[in-house]
Amino acid sequence: MNLVVIGAQWGDEGKGKMIDYFAERASFIVRFSGGANAGHTVVIGDETYKLHLIPSGIIYPDRNVILGNGMVIDLEAFFNELKMLSDRGIKWEGRVFISDRAHLVLPGFKKIDVETDKKRQHPIGTTGRGIGTTYSLKASRDSFRVVDVLDPLILDELAEEDRNFIKKYFDSLKKMTTDTSLLLWENKDKNILFEGAQGTLLDIDHGTYPYVSSGISSASGASQGSG
Q: How many structural domains comprise the chain?
A: 1
Q: What is the mean pLDDT of residues 71-98?
A: 96
What's the confidence (pLDDT) of residue 193?
97
pLDDT of residue 123 exceeding 60, the answer is no
pLDDT > 90 fraction of the chain, expressed in percent and rounded: 66
d(CA 94, CA 113): 33
What's the confidence (pLDDT) of residue 118?
63
Residue 153's H or E segment, with its range, is helix 152-155
What's the confidence (pLDDT) of residue 227?
82
d(CA 38, CA 105): 14
What's the confidence (pLDDT) of residue 191?
96
pLDDT of residue 194 exceeding 70, the answer is yes
d(CA 36, CA 218): 17
Neighbours of 102 (CB within 10 A): 22
Supply the DSSP symbol for 59.
G
Is 205 known to be catalytic?
Answer: no
Q: Which residues contact 168 (CB under 8 A, 6 or more apart)?
A: 75
Is 12 known to be catalytic?
Answer: yes
Domain that holds residue 181: 2-224
CATH code (residue 42): 3.40.440.10
Give CA separation, 2 vs 28, 194, 219, 227, in Å.
Answer: 10, 8, 12, 13
Ramachandran region of residue 161, left (φ > 0), alpha (ψ -120 to 50) or beta? alpha
The answer to whether 29 touches 62, Cβ cutoff 8 Å, is no
